[in-house]
Amino acid sequence: MNKLMKAPQRLVKRMLPFRQKAASKALLSALPAFAVPADAIEVLPDPTAFRQTLLRQIAQATRRILIVALYLQDDDGGREVLDALYAAYAKNPSLQIHIFVDWHRAQRGLIGKAKSEGNAGMYREYAERFGPGVAIYGVPVQNRELFGVLHLKGVIIDDTVLYSGASFNDVYLAKQGRYRLDRYHRLLHRELADAMAGFLRRHFVESEAVRRLNVPDVPSTRSLYPAIRTLRDDLQGARYDVPHDALGHADVAVTPLLGFGRADNLLNDVLLALLRGARRRVILLTPYFNLPRPVRLVIGQLLRRGCEIHIMVGDKTANDFYIPPPQPFRTIGLLPYLYENNLRRFARAHRKQMASGQLNIYLWRDGDNSYHLKGVLIDDDVAVITGNNFNPRAWALDLENGLLLRDPGHLLTAKHEAEWAALRQHAVRLTDDLALESTRSYPAEVRKNLKRLNRTRLDRLVNRIM
């Protein structure tokens, strides 16, 4: 009797993916796009090439330089970028130079370090020494950093878009012998650059909540609360201005996407639609293994359909929160272990698919360098380059963006395959969950704190906001 009563419910659950797939197909077919020549899209190989390209483009700029990132750090890497920007302005005073960083992140010191005025102190120091010319704005996406940050990415220099999930400091720019690996793309297309620049002008420069940080008097966050609320409401419905270009035989369809909030989040919706539409293979890159529930569900559906899934994540020692055991333990150092436990549970649940080769999980590690890659490659004709970490925080709290590349002519396939092959050079494929380090081998301080989190179920809360 119970089986008969539950039959309609089971039938609805089985039919739901088909309804979702139809809705996803309709969403993707309605997306506008720029027709960008495939030879105008370049994949840069490493952070050194990214830094060199960035500095060269800054030096050659004639009209505009717009940079948006989580932060521009007060260290050698960040100062090198600021030096280049002020030098470009001195050479060409008609140059428009705007930098947008997270409001909260810019005004605090590093986690675990002494309290300070943060990177904003460097911004003001440069403005006092070199005068006007470089406008640095803080964008307060939420009232507090814990509940969401500016995670938008992109550098627009004249007609070029440099897109990476990286921020700007020593390790992201490979300045001091170590690097934090990300993905790096260069797209030369005036209309795409105009659209991304136009978004920054409409939603940031013209917002009462977005204020200059490199000026003497910076308002308090509390005084901006009403303006921040208005900014949030504005961003909920914001979109890039994108046409419906017709593709030529040598073109790739490029759509910039915005994502903010739990509902009506276009970037999230498109990512799920793309995954549901996968036919043969999905490659998913994420630095922190903490997948949002909708993504986990779609991956399960794809595995049941027989799709091949490849997931690359950083080894816990390649996580930017990892603290080597000889160093004093801090609570933030628990995160890499929490992410590894998430990965262990996921691998244990999919042992069969891992054994058959249908599911392939790779751990990336290269010495004491770190891993910060994000994005997806689907079949041979779809790629998403993004700063989205594929975690619950990115899915609901942070302001995110990305570039969707649809390539029906497979014009970029060789470039993406070369990128994927290069990444695997420093990655090891897990055979099963037992290949991960046992929790019994974790440092004593880590084991104690993990037990406390598990006992109080606070680990679930941490997974939702980190």
Structure confidence by residue, pLDDT tens digits, 201-216: 999 999 999 999 999 9
* Dihedral pair phi/psi, residue 399, rounded to 5°: -85, 120
Helix H or strand E segment including 304: helix 293-305
In a domain, 387, yes or no: yes
- Is the same domain home to 84 and 143? yes
400 is a catalytic site residue:
yes
In a domain, 27, yes or no: no
Domain end residue (candidates: 221, 236, 251):
236
75 is a catalytic site residue:
no
In a domain, 241, yes or no: no
9-43 pLDDT per residue, tens: 544 444 455 566 778 888 998 999 999 999 999 99
pLDDT at residue 413, rounded to an integer: 97
169 Cβ contact partners less than 8 Å away, ≥ 6 residues apart: 71, 72, 73, 75, 77, 78, 175
- Is the same domain home to 279 and 219? no
Domain end residue (candidates: 236, 253, 285):
236
Question: Are β-strands 359-364 and 308-314 bridged in parallel, bridged antiparallel, or unpaired?
Answer: parallel
- Is the same domain home to 128 and 68? yes
The C-alpha torsion from 249 through 253 and 254 to 258, rounded to 10°, is: 180
- Is the same domain home to 77 and 164? yes
Domain count, the chain: 2
- Is the same domain home to 353 and 458? yes
- Is the same domain home to 359 and 448? yes
d(CA 343, CA 364): 13
d(CA 41, CA 174): 23
182 is a catalytic site residue:
yes
Sign of the alpha-carbon torsion through 67, 68, 73, 76 = negative
pLDDT at residue 23, rounded to an integer: 82
- Is the same domain home to 285 and 177? no
- Is the same domain home to 276 and 345? yes
d(CA 14, CA 10): 6
pLDDT at residue 115, rounded to an integer: 65
98 is a catalytic site residue:
no
pLDDT (tens place) for every residue of the chain, 466 residues total: 444 555 555 444 444 555 667 788 889 989 999 999 999 999 999 999 999 999 999 999 999 999 999 999 999 999 999 999 999 999 999 999 999 999 999 999 766 555 678 999 999 999 999 999 999 999 999 999 989 999 999 999 999 999 999 999 999 999 999 999 999 999 999 999 999 999 999 999 999 999 999 999 999 999 999 999 999 999 998 999 999 999 999 999 999 999 999 999 999 999 999 999 999 999 999 999 999 999 999 999 999 999 999 999 999 999 999 998 888 888 889 999 999 999 999 999 999 999 999 999 999 999 999 999 999 999 999 999 999 999 999 999 999 999 999 999 999 999 999 999 999 999 999 999 999 999 999 999 999 988 888 877 766 766 666 6
Q: Of 74, 170, 251, 400, which residue is the catalytic one?
A: 400
Residue 57: which of 66, 69, 70 has the closest Cα?
66
In a domain, 68, yes or no: yes
The encoded tokens of residue 123 equal 């911004």
- Is the same domain home to 281 and 412? yes
- Is the same domain home to 231 and 276? no
Residue 302: which of 344, 324, 274 has the closest Cα?
274
Residue 359, domain extent: 262-396+399-465
Residue 396: which of 256, 261, 194 has the closest Cα?
261
Sheet of 382-386: strands edge to edge?
34-37, 251-259, 400-406, 382-386, 375-378, 281-285, 308-314, 359-364, 427-429
pLDDT at residue 8, rounded to an integer: 55
In a domain, 78, yes or no: yes
In a domain, 85, yes or no: yes
Q: Of 75, 102, 170, 182, which residue is the catalytic one?
A: 182
Q: Of 151, 185, 189, 350, which residue is the catalytic one?
A: 151
